[in-house]
Chains A and B, each alone.
Chain A
């Protein structure tokens, strides 16, 4: 691809493409032109280089290295690496905690996806219909604000909220004559507490994405549907819902990936730097948390790498499945 600024070279290239059908290579007629084309390419690659370098150094190389060490016995302080084949995976599959962490991640994801989609969609509809008129920007800002706050900082606030003795959550529950819960100290309620924090934190982003999707639904369609006699709920599920299906698909994929990778809020809320994160009694030990602990608490890097690889394959499979489903139900204009 030539991205140069010189009109002549681009012009002759286009002409060449047109006259010769599908010849992607420019016909170079003179050394002068060759020099110009080379210069154009240099500029193009020069512009691409910084972004490409960041990607390669911080993403592709570590990812490739991770796959590599998942088949080796590798330590951060030892220079010796031994090829062990699938032994890391064998160890993992024999570990009940590994399976438990997968189940915990699955539970977290299965609850988070519908909760995220339904709540974000509901808030987006509210912002669009009811609160859009005068102070729409203010409301949108208010909803988006939690997303730009640091997870670690706000998670500490949520730890206070969920304090079983003097926290706000239990205060509200008891005010409503409901039983107080153990929250982060209870095996049953620790993960839901983390989910509430995650929802609060991430919802703003998904609301904005849904609002953008809804803005793309032409106003006339909604008007014509009303003139056709459709009540609000029918307008929603027959017109808006199918037309924002690409957005919904995007939100589902994003929520899936984010849920499987959830780490900071769990780590901070369930013990954090003081140890014991993932508790009580491993109730909040998700796959991502176990990867971290295996690598940086117990220093089994190869095992953690193997786990990461499995996590990657799970997310890849889920996304592929979602894509397969979406190709059948999503309507792209």
Chain B
């Protein structure tokens, strides 16, 4: 097991920069999730850690040891690929033992290690099977087993659950968390599914277009997003963000024509400028006010999605039809399409961003 450090790591293909100045220090045994949309550079970063891609610049350390020039076979990393990449012509046993035999582990010792891992992952009964005879979940376990059987110092997973159906994915996610708790191997996990990221990670690295947007715990990236990208990307659905010009008033501030915010946001808003980006999470909007000083958002309802436990309203700000609003509200109220309604949010659940830099501006020490 090892700590891992990436220092100003960049990757360039021709003139295209796919990973830019990646800095991260990972503690021994930490579970890091690389999260971002397709093409954001997360898989490339993982492959650089594995040694399957070279670094264009920067340095990579396992513990104290620089590994830039160490080939993948000598890095002692275990990797699980999206499509599992099991050796199709070998039995499950041979798949598991291949890495050990490649490293010249004696036969008896290798067989013992395989049977231990097979027991841990409950695949003992399929050891003689070929991969094509296995179900998706079993293949997933074999791929995991192959990566952990030789006790790697770093464990890499590239969207390992994306080929499974929803139920199995949920179950495997819990099993992965348990497995990590048990083995304590430093893990990098690539996904575009924020559900997986939020539940599995010790820390999440959110990436976009090759750049790291934020590194933090699930709680931090949800409640203190660095910028509008993270705010929009984390949360389901993401945060409502409105670029609005504001006018000061004695009791409240009017932003645009239909958003009213309390005066205690004034100083923060003045620091930004005449136009601000106001952000409110859909789950922080309510139908009734809890008291004075709430943020008021008025909208025209365009679509109503009844999702059982709650209702998702999709609409546009009244008077600003180019700005969309999504709200997650309690079920049981009869909303109508075309209706104009006003929703409320507590001032502390409102975020302010600078529309030029897209970075968040502290309002109440959020």
Interface residues of A (CB under 8 A from B): 218, 220-221, 223-231, 234, 238-239, 242-243, 331, 333
Q: Is the CB of A229 within 8 A of B81?
A: no
Please name 18 further chain A to chain B contacts, defined as beta carbons within 8 Å, in addition to the given A226-B71, A227-B52, A227-B78, sorted by A numbering: A220-B83, A221-B85, A223-B52, A223-B79, A223-B81, A224-B146, A225-B98, A225-B102, A227-B51, A227-B79, A229-B76, A229-B150, A230-B98, A242-B89, A243-B88, A331-B88, A331-B89, A333-B88
Docked Cα-Cα span, A193 to B132, in Å, equals 47
Residue of B nearest to A243 (CB): B89
Q: Which of B75, B81, B103 gathers the greatest number of chain A CB atoms within 10 Å?
A: B81
Q: Is there an interface contact between A227 and B72, defined as CB atoms closer than 8 Å?
A: yes
- For the complex, what is the distance from the CA of A223 to the CA of B150, rounded to whole Å? 16
In the bound assembly, the distance between CA atoms of A276 and B99 in angstroms comes to 60
Measured between beta carbons, the chain B residues less than 8 angstroms from A243 are 88-89
> 8 Å CB contacts to A: which residues of B170-216?
none
How many positions in chain B have a CB within 8 Å of any CB in the partner chain?
Answer: 25
Most chain B beta carbons < 10 A, residue from A218, A228, A238, A243: A228
B85 touching A228, Cβ below 8 Å: no
SS class, residues of chain A in contact with chain B: helix
Give the chain A neighbours of B79 by CB distance below 8 A.
223-224, 227
Q: Is the C-beta of B35 less than 8 angstroms from some C-beta in chain A?
A: no
Residues of B within 8 A of A239 (CB): 87
Whether B295 is near chain A, meaning CB under 8 Å from some CB there, is: no
B residues within 8 A CB of A229?
Answer: 73-74, 76, 99, 102-103, 150
Say yes or no: is B50 at the interface (Cβ < 8 Å to chain A): yes
CB distance from A235 to the nearest CB of B (A): 9
Q: 1/0 per position for B39-78, CB-CB distance to A under 8 A? A: 0000000000011100000000000000000011111111
Contact (A231, B52) CB under 8 Å given A218-B85, A220-B81: no
Residue from B71, B81, B132, B146 in contact with A228 in the complex, judged by beta carbons closer than 8 Å = B146
Residue with the greatest number of chain A CB neighbours at <10 A, chosen from B77, B89, B103, B150? B89
Which chain B positions have C-beta within 8 A of A225? Answer: 87, 98, 102
For B87, what are the chain A residues with a Cβ–Cβ distance below 8 Å? 221, 225, 238-239
Write out the residue numbers on chain B whose beta carbons fall within 8 Å of the beta carbon of A227: 50-52, 72-73, 75, 77-79, 99
The answer on a CB contact under 8 Å between B98 and A228 is yes
6 residue pairs bridging A and B, Cβ less than 8 Å apart? A227-B50, A227-B99, A229-B73, A229-B102, A238-B98, A333-B88
Within B120-151, which residues are at the interface with A (CB < 8 Å)? 132, 146, 150
In the bound complex, what is the Cα–Cα distance between A58 and B39 (angstroms)?
A: 56
What's the minimum C-beta distance from B84 to chain A, rounded to whole angstroms?
9
Do B85 and A230 touch across chains, with their CB atoms under 8 A apart?
A: no
Cβ 8 A contact of B102, one of A223, A234, A333: A234
- Nearest-CB residue, chain A, relative to B52: A223
Residues of chain A within 8 A (CB-CB) of B85 are 218, 220-221, 223-224
Q: How far apart sit A229 and B73, CA to CA, in the bound complex (Å)? A: 4
Q: Which A residues lie within 8 Å of B76 (CB)?
A: 229
Whole-angstrom CA separation of A192 from B251 in the bound complex: 102
Nearest first, the 5 A-B pairs at minimum CB distance are A228-B99, A220-B85, A229-B102, A230-B102, A331-B89
- Point out the residues of chain A lying under 8 angstroms from B71, CB to CB: 226
The chain A residue sitting closest to B83, CB to CB, is: A220
Nearest CB in chain A to that of B80: its residue: A224
Q: How far, in Å, is B26 (CB) from chain A's closest CB? A: 19
Q: With A and B bound together, what is the CA distance between A68 and B3 in angstroms?
A: 80
Distance, CA A225 to CA B88, complexed state (A)? 12
